Amino acid sequence: MLSLNFSSVLHGQYLHWFLLGAICTLLLFAVSWVIGFLLSLIVVAVRSSGARFLVAAAAGFVGYHRNVPELVQLFVWYFGVPQLLPATWQQLINNTGNSEFIFATIALSLNVAAYMSEDLRSGIRSLPSAQLEAARALGLSYISSMRKVILPQALKVAVPPLVNQSLGLFKSTSLAMAIGVAEMTYVSQQVENESFRTFEAFAVASIFYWTVSFLIMGLGTVWSKRLNMDGTR
Amino acid sequence: MTDLFHILHDYGLLLLVGQFPQGPLGGLALTLCLAVAGLLISFPLAVLVGIARTSTHTVIYLPVSVAVHLIRGLPVLMIIFWAYFIVPLAIGRSVSALTTVLCALVVYELAFMGEVIRAGIQALPKGQIEAARSLGLNGFQVMRRVVLPQALFHMLPSILNRFISLIKNTSLGYIISLNELTYSAYQINIQLLTKPFQVYTILAVTYFLICWSLGQAMTRLERRIQARRERTAAYVESTIIASA
C-alpha cells in the first residue's frame, strides 16, 4: 500500500518549486482576469453599438472562443501567431525571456473576455429597455447611462455567472503547462518526475487548486448575497 | 491560402482517422469516438448523481455533494493526472492513454452533468411529485415515470451543451500523447516545422465547425422544446377554462 510522506515533496528545492508554481498560477489568473474583464466590457459595447460590421466582428470573436478548445487557442497564439509577427516583434517578445507567460496571458484573457461578455450581455438584456431610454431622456450620455445606470444593475444579475467564469479561468491556467509555463500543474509533474512521489506531488497541487477554487466560490456566494441585500433596501 | 490546401491534401487523412487501416484509430475520428463514449458512460451515472443531489437523506446527499464540489474545484488536467496514477493502481495493470483520458473525462462530466440533471429535477413544480405520490406511486416510480422523463426532456439542450464541452476537453488527451485531433495536428506541425499558423488554423477551424454546428442544433432544440411547453401550457389553460 501507499506510504505517504509529504515532507519529502515539501522541503528544499521542491517546496521552492511549488511556491513559484503557486505564484505563477495566481499571477496568470489575476492578470488574465483583469484584462479579460476590461475587454469583455469593450466587447459588450461593440456588440450593442449597432454598426453591422462591428457587431459581426464581436460575434465572431465570441463564437471563436466558445467553439474552439482553449488548449488549441493557446497553441494558435504560442506556435501560430509568432510566425505572422515581424522579426523585430518576435525579438522583442523573446527578449522578455518569458514569451510562454505572455502568450498564455493573451490567450486566457481573450477567452475569458468572450465568455464574460456573454454573461454581461444577458445581464443587460434582463433589464427593461426603458431603463436606458429613461437615462438618456434625463440627459445622460450613452457612456454615462451605461456606467451609472445599466452596468451596476446588469452586474448584479451577472455576478453568479461571472464568478463561475472566474473559477473556470482559474482552472484553465493549468493549460498553460502545455506551452511550458511553470505554473502549479507543470510544477506538480516536474516534482513527480524528480521525486517519484506521485501521490504527494499531485496532492499538494490539488490542495492548492481546491483552496483557491473554494475561496472563489465562497467569495461569489458572499458577494451575490450582499448585492441582493442592497437591492431590497 | 494555398498552404492550407497543400497541408489538407497531404495530411487530411491523418487528421481525419490517424493511421487507421494500418495503425490505431486517431485524429478527428478518435476525438468524436472519445466524446461519444464519454457521453454514453457518464450520462446514466450523472442521472444517479443528479438524483442523489436532490435526495433528502443526508447519507446520500452529503458524500455525493462533497465529491461533486471536489471535482468542480480541480482543473481537468489535474483529474487526468490523477486518473493516470489511480486507474492502473485500482485495476492492477497498466492502461492505455485512451482509457486514462476516458476515465478522467467521465469523472469530470459526472460532476457537471449531474448538476445539469439536478437543476432539471428541481425545476419541476413540487405539485407533480405530490400528485404522483398521492396517486399511490412509490419514490422510485415517481422518479422513473414522472420526474425523469420530463426533467431529461427539458434538459436535452444542456446535455448537448455538455457534449460540446466534452469534445473540447478531449483535446487535453494531447498532454498524455493520446493520438486525437490536437495531438495529430501537433505531429503534423513537427513534420512541417515552418507552417505552424496554417496547421493550427486548420485545427481550430475543424473544432469550430463541429462545435458551432452542434451549438446551432442546440439552439434549435431549445426553441422547439420551449414552443412545446408553451403549447402544453396553453392547452392546459384552455381545458381548465372549458371545464369551469
Contact of A18 with chain B, judged by CB distance below 8 Å, is answered with: no
Contact status, residue A133 vs residue A87, Cβ threshold 8 Å: no
Closest residue of A to B168, CA-based? A69
Domain A6-232: which CATH number of 1.10.3720.10, 3.40.50.150, 1.10.1040.10, 3.20.20.70: 1.10.3720.10
Contact B85 A199 (CB under 8 A): yes
Rounded to an integer, what distance in angstroms lies between the CA atom of residue A175 and that of residue A183?
9
Q: Please identify among residues 46-105 of chain A the ones whose CB lies closer than 8 Å to any CB of chain B.
A: 63-64, 66-73, 75-76, 79-81, 83-84
The verdict on pTM exceeding 0.80 is yes
Buried residues in B219-242 as b, exposed as e (16+ CB within 10 A): eeebeeeeeeeeeeeeeeeeeeee
Q: Which of B78, B204, B215 sits opposite A185 (nearest CB)?
A: B78
Q: What are φ and ψ of residue B95, in 5° steps?
A: -125, 160
Contact status, residue A104 vs residue A73, Cβ threshold 8 Å: no
Contact B200 A76 (CB under 8 A): yes
Closest residue of B to A213, CA-based? B73
CATH of the domain at B112: 1.10.3720.10
Rounded to an integer, what distance in angstroms lies between the CA atom of residue B77 and that of residue B172?
7
Looking at beta carbons, which residues of chain B come within 8 Å of A185? 75, 77-78, 81
DSSP code, position A80: I
Q: Please identify among residues 148-167 of chain A the ones whose CB lies closer than 8 Å to any CB of chain B.
A: 167
Instruction: Render pLDDT for A36-75 as a digit per residue (tens, 0 to 9).
Output: 999 999 999 898 877 899 999 999 999 999 999 999 999 9
Share of chain B above pLDDT 90, in %: 64
Rounded to an integer, what distance in angstroms lies between the CA atom of residue A14 and that of residue A65?
36
Parent domain of B72: 2-243
DSSP code, position A11: S
Q: Which of A67, A81, A178 sits opposite B208 (nearest CB)?
A: A67
- Going by pLDDT thresholds of 50, 70 and 90, the confidence category of residue A230 is low
Contact status, residue A120 vs residue A41, Cβ threshold 8 Å: yes
B244: its cell numbers: 369551469
Question: How many domains does chain B fold into?
Answer: 1
Pairs of CB atoms within 8 A across A/B: 105
Has residue A3 got a pLDDT over 90?
A: no
Q: Tell me the residue type at A73.
A: Q
Instruction: Render pLDDT for A139-194 as a digit per residue (tens, 0 to 9).
Output: 988 888 888 888 888 888 888 899 999 999 999 999 999 999 999 999 999 999 99
Looking at beta carbons, which residues of chain A come within 8 Å of B200? 72, 75-76, 79-80
Give the mean pLDDT of B21-50. 93
- Tell me what percent of chain B is helix, strand and coil, each rounded to the nearest 5: 85, 0, 15
Residue B134 CB contacts under 8 Å (≥ 6 apart), including other chains = none
Instruction: Render pLDDT for A188-220 as a digit per residue (tens, 0 to 9).
Output: 999 999 988 889 999 999 999 999 999 999 998
DSSP A96-142: TS-HHHHHHHHHHHHHHHHHHHHHHHHHHHTS-THHHHHHHHTT--H
Q: Pick the closest to residue B200 from B73, B48, B15, B17 (CA basis).
A: B15
